[in-house]
Structure 1
Amino acid sequence: MTPIRTVHLGAHFPGVNNATIWTDPQAGSQIDIESFRHFARTAEAGRFDFLFLAEGLRVREHNGRIHDLDVVGRPDSLTVLAALAAVTDRLGLVATLNSTFNEPVELARQLATLDALSGGRAGWNLVTSSDAFTGENFRRGGFLDKADRYTRADEFLAVCREFWGGWDGPLPRRIEHQGPFFTVRGRPTVPPGMQGRPVVLQAGDSSEGRELAASSADGIFAMHGTLRAGQEFYADVKGRLAKYGRNEDDLKILPGIGFALGDTEDEAQERYRYQRWAQISPPTALQYIEAVWGRDLSDFDPDGPLPPADLVVQDAPELALGRAGTHRDNRGTAEQWIERSEATGWSIRELVVELTTRHALVGTPATVAEQIHTFVQERGGDGYILVPSVTPGGLDEFVDTVIPLLVERGSYPAEYVGTTLRDHLELPIPTVPIPPATDPARSAAVDRAAVVRSLG
């Protein structure tokens, strides 16, 4: 009989992302510490592997104005997670941190500190950027070509791991690194914690990103949430592991996904429809097509037809700053959208709602539990990172209604089975020397980690 595969779940704090519905009556602050505490405690009550914070290094703009769905007030992720370490006991704490606009030794120290403070629960979602707009906040600016950002990221991670593993018994050894991006000499300042070193997730979907994940990451924040697309991505990335001497279970694939629950299927679909429309306000719909037409379209009715394609300005300055650009042939894209909207009778806003809709888990708690269970058992992924639509209570109903049904299926733990993030994700502990300590509690922790490593 085939063993039941464990469902792994992360919880994405709704804040720096376009899925968050700020106009919802239940929406709260994205910066108040009570919002973070509520969300973290809910995730821990549901035995989620980790809480996940996105990164927002600059408020996005559109045509010189703040983007309609963006928010001002983006607290530093590591500071927030350090505060949450004090009000949680088991929940993993994962921060999205950019390898393009940070320095590896300092970031390695910060993450090692969080890992020590939390008892081995720290994680890092490694991302890159070739965005010059974001780079204007930093000394180097947006100097990196796209081809260089993963080269820098790979070396950045290598330096971090040299410092995390730079111990000979109780003493830190000298680290000397010479590479194309970093020349570093020094000694680690924070000893390794309970899980050896922080867990590293990676969010790139390009071939370079997949290769970096296969060679170096512990998990992937993926975008392929349907079963077929997930299976293709799973097979591709996990198929790259063997050449790096890694096994299938050494890397967890976790697509980000939204959800809508209801007492009936119809009620769930109605909630999902509300979410989709609330996420695309009339100004947002116009801004979305303005990025393709290359001009101000505020005179057009978002509930009316699309502008004609001959209004497209091919060489217009980029209007959407701080957001990923996906349209290279603006005139061709506009013509495709016009053809589609004329065939369906969709307005500007209706078209944008359809264009921006991603796969979500929609249905009764029983339906959603079955979708998650099947996705993992059939290797669409190892679980999901859930992205609620409301801050901070968007996870509450899921924990109350779906989690117990996953436990009944035998694919989700009834209790946490370990204390570290690596325990939760069923990842091997790296063979990093842990210096001895005189404190009895610390000594017990060191002994436990040593025993775990000795067992394989």
Structure 2
Amino acid sequence: MSKQIHLAAHFPGVNNTTVWSDPRSGSHIEFDSFAHFARTAERAKFDFLFLAEGLRLREQRGHIHDLDVVGRPDTFTVLAALAGVTSRLGLAGTINSTFNEPYEVARQFATLDHLSAGRAAWNVVTSWDAFTGENFRRGGFLAESDRYERARAFLDTSLELFGSWHGDEIVADKESGVFLTDARAGWFKHQDAHFDIEGQFTVPRSPQGRPVILQAGDSGQGREFAASHADAIFSRHSTYDAGRDFYTDVKGRLARHGRRPEDLLILPAATFVLGDTEAEAAEIAHEVRLAQVSGPTAITFAEHVWNRDLSAYDPDGPLPAVDPLDGEHTVARGRASVRMFGDRLATANEWRERAAARNLSLREVVVEVTARQSFVGTPGEVASEINRFVQDDAADGFVLVPHITPGGLDEFAGKVVPLLQERGVFRAEYTGETLREHLGLAARR
């Protein structure tokens, strides 16, 4: 029997995949954009909508990066509003465990799960940089091991809060109109190296018991954290071979945590470009990449490697002849992509070899090394590839990231989803009410 494909949709806002300058691109902060995107995903019977979190605007050489010019709205506010314009679509938000506090986050997610009748999901992430911490009273930098230790304690504490209401603690006396409440309802006490809290949790047990837990870390500690705690992983391994390796590795970690392979879904982020022919799709994909990597964007990425001010260089000219600077990265503070390149000199030399072999400009090199189109082709070809990935255990489904907001999901919903439904590998109608049911996960009670 064929595996069923899981699909989610990521509202990208303005980031490295977004062609925000395209005339078809609408607002990335007005509610109509979020509502359009969510309604499209629900009409296509997607599992959930996914929002990222931005706790600080990104900077480059002391200036706000152009990808953050529209701002970064609050995740909970947007998801709560979307609960009122959707009825089945799951609502997932990325909320940081490094700078937030368990009581507040648990209260917000429990409330969202009530407001949405059981459709909330939490993507638990850590933050690696002191740059973001400057926005918070605690501030500071946490090493990777400390970040994941705090994340585990944060999630464990939150799960205690979600589970602090037991059975029927609240009984309504209809004659007197008085609610009689068990004095222990919602009571919690948690002490560890990170948190020392005690009191009454204010939100009764929600429809799912707790939100679906997503995780996006890719390090060894991140994978182990997901294997022990998460319901689904938002993975970056969207190519076939890398996807199969990641899938095998993470699923293989589950048994030592007393879990089964079906208890954790692997959902890589994936972009797509559709065309009437394979050649047309490839041409569109190339134009999209050029639009995603403007001249200034190419210089920005190069500065992440060189750790130098490269603003005087021509992005359509040769790569810098100077080598990257060693030491603390001061040019691209707070940019996660800095970590992608590892050894700066090795990366610069690899870029130079690529440019020399094919006479590529700096911008053309960046276009190649940051390529993000996962699926390019006709609707039939894309449907076949997505199905191949899932049936061959390279993924359990995908979190789709369109390059146009908010209408970029429309074509996929109208042309690819029906083909998956015809194959019998994707639902034609929702059969459950909660996100946990959509994902085929066991109830958490």
Q: Which of 163, 166, 170 is matched with 2:164 structurally?
A: 166
Equivalent residue for 1:287, pick from 273, 292, 300: 300
2:64 aligned with 1:51: no
Aligned residue runs from structure 1 range 42-441, under 5 A: 42-171=40-169, 172-310=185-323, 312-315=324-327, 317-324=329-336, 325-326=338-339, 327-431=341-445
Larger deviation, residues 37-46 vs 14-23: 14-23
Contact 1:130/1:142 (8 A) holds in 2? no
- 2:405 and 2:372 map into 1 onto residues whose CA distance is 20
The alpha-carbon deviation at position 147 of structure 1 amounts to 1.8
Q: CA deviation at 1:174?
A: 2.2
Following superposition, the deviation at residue 314 of structure 1 comes to 2.6
- Report the alpha carbon displacement of residue 224 of structure 1 after superposing the two structures with TM: 0.9
Is the 2:273–2:373 contact (alpha carbons within 8 Å) kept by the matching residues of 1?
A: no
1:154/1:140 CA distance change after superposition, 3 Å:
same
Write the distance in 1 (CA, Å) between the matches of 2:225 and 2:358: 42
SS in 1 for 2:68: coil
TM normalised by structure 1 equals 0.92
Could you list the runs of 5+ residues in structure 1 that have no partner in the other structure? 432-456
Separation (CA, whole Å) in 2 of partners of 1:382 and 1:328: 29
Give the secondary structure class of the aligned counterpart of 2:297. Answer: helix
SS of residue matched to 1:320: coil
Query: Equivalences for 1:9-48 in 2 at 5 Å?
Result: 9-48=7-46
Q: CA offset at residue 142 of structure 1? A: 2.6
Given that 2:152 and 2:225 are in contact with CA atoms closer than 8 Å, whether structure 1 keeps it comes out as: yes
Offset of residue 414 of structure 1? 0.6
* Structure 2 Cα separation of the partners of residues 178 and 229 of structure 1: 40
Give the SS at the match of 1:97.
strand
Q: CA deviation at 1:418?
A: 0.5
Q: Distance in 1 between matches of 2:7 and 2:123?
A: 15
Q: 1:393 to 1:161 in 2, by over 3 A?
A: same
What is the rounded CA distance, in whole Å, between the counterparts of 2:328 and 2:251 in structure 1? 42
- Partner Cα distance (2:108, 2:158) in 1: 11
Query: Aligned with 1:309: secondary structure?
Result: coil
Matched residues in 1 for 2:327 and 2:409: separation? 44
Give the whole-Å Cα distance in 1 for the aligned partners of 2:300 and 2:375: 27
Equivalent residue letter for 1:390: I
Contact persistence 2:28–2:70 (CA under 8 A): no
Q: CA RMSD in A?
A: 1.3
Deviation at 1:69, TM superposition (A): 2.7
**CA offsets 1:6-63 (integer angstroms, 9 cap, x no match):** 1000100020521111111100111000000000000000000000001111110111
CA distance in 2, matches of 1:173, 1:24: 50
Letter in structure 1 aligned against 2:440: E
The one-letter code matched in structure 1 to 2:348 is A
Q: 1:55-85, CA deviations, whole angstroms, 9 ceiling, x for partnerless residues?
A: 1111101111122333332111110010000
Preserved CA contact (<8 Å) 2:123 2:213 = yes
Deviates more, 1:176-185 or 1:393-402: 176-185
CA-to-aligned-CA distance 1:202-239 (integer Å, 9 cap, x gap):
00000101111110110000011122211111111111
Moved more, 335-344 or 219-228: 335-344
Aligned 8 A contact 2:247 2:395 in 1: yes
- CA distance in structure 2 between the aligned counterparts of 1:282 and 1:256, rounded to whole angstroms: 25
Cα distance per residue 1:240-291 (max 9 Å; x no partner): 1111111111111100010000111111111111111111110111121122
Amino acid at match of 1:391: T
Tell me, which stretches of 5 or more residues in structure 2 are unaligned?
170-184
Counterpart Cα distance in 1 of 2:167 and 2:138: 38
Instruction: Give the distance between the partners of 1:272 and 1:334, measured in 2 at CA.
Output: 26
- What is the identity, as a one-letter code, of the residue corresponding to 2:372? R
Q: What amino acid sits opposite 2:218 in the alignment?
A: D
User: Larger deviation: 336-345 or 6-15?
Assistant: 336-345
Aligned residues: 428
Task: Go from structure 1 to structure 2 and tell me whether the alpha carbon gap of 1:332 and 1:232 turns closer, same or farther (over 3 Å shift).
Answer: closer
Contact map agreement 2:186 2:202 (CA 8 A) in 1: no
CA, structure 1 residues 316+183, in 2 after alignment: closer, same or farther (shift >3 Å)?
closer
What residue in structure 2 maps to residue 444 of structure 1? none
Paired amino acid for 1:347: S
Shift of 1:359: 4.8
2-structure distance, mates of 1:196, 1:168: 10
> Is the partner of 1:167 in helix, strand or coil?
coil
